[in-house]
């Protein structure tokens, strides 16, 4: 299902593909369980980095709607290891993949807890709910889409946004 959803978008993806060297950087810096083969292959095959996607309120399970920009490998590492909430939730099985372009700055993650899953749920994790002890209340994590394939099937690519390296 994920491959079919991405194949439909492939010719209109204005981003960049993740290079083999960038995949190696991800593997060197992140827990192996966050980087299953299906995900690394997807990142290398499809030009997702720096693409802005949006879904409307009716398509977002949280009811808020979403406008996110897909992170580069460097940004994934930064969000996972250097800033919150990434520091608090990466070790709990969440992989950062995007940032909010609406204005909140809240990041989006794939819920990678189920190692058998090949199409992880997309969630929104608010940056201001991290507790002093690096704990995060999982009850406050919002599911945007039950699967990444659902997200790609519902999302619109926002071609008007021109990403600059300094934006995130």
Domains of the chain: 2-157 (3.40.1580)
Which whole number is the average pLDDT over 18-24?
A: 98
Q: CA–CA separation, 146 vs 103, rounded Å?
A: 23
Q: Cis ω on the peptide bond leading into residue 85 (within 30° of 0)?
A: yes
pTM value is: 0.90
Is the torsion defined by CA of 82, 84, 85, 91 positive or negative?
A: positive
Q: CA–CA separation, 52 vs 84, rounded Å?
A: 22
Residue 64: both structure tokens together: 């808020």
Region for residue 81 given its phi and psi (left: phi exceeds 0; alpha: psi -120 to 50; beta: otherwise): alpha
Q: CA–CA separation, 14 vs 7, rounded Å?
A: 14
pLDDT in tens, 71-85: 999 999 999 999 999
Helix (H, G, I), strand (E, B) or coil at 41: helix
């Amino acid at each position: 299902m994920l491959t079919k959803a991405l194949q439909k978008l492939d010719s209109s993806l204005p981003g960049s593909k993740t290079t083999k060297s960038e995949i190696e950087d991800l593997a060197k810096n992140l827990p192996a369980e966050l980087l299953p083969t299906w995900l690394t292959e997807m990142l290398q095959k499809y030009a997702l980095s720096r693409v802005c996607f949006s879904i409307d309120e009716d398509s977002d399970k949280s009811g808020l709607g979403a406008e996110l920009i897909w992170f580069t490998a460097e940004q994934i590492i930064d969000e996972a290891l250097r800033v919150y909430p990434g520091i608090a939730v990466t070790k709990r099985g969440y992989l950062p993949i995007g940032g909010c372009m609406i204005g909140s700055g809240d990041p989006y993650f794939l819920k990678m807890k189920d190692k058998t899953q090949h199409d992880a749920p997309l969630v929104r994790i608010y940056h201001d709910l991290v507790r002093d002890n690096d704990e995060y209340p999982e009850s406050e994590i919002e599911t945007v889409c039950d699967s990444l394939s659902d997200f790609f099937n519902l999302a619109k690519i926002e071609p008007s946004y021109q990403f600059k390296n300094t934006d995130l």
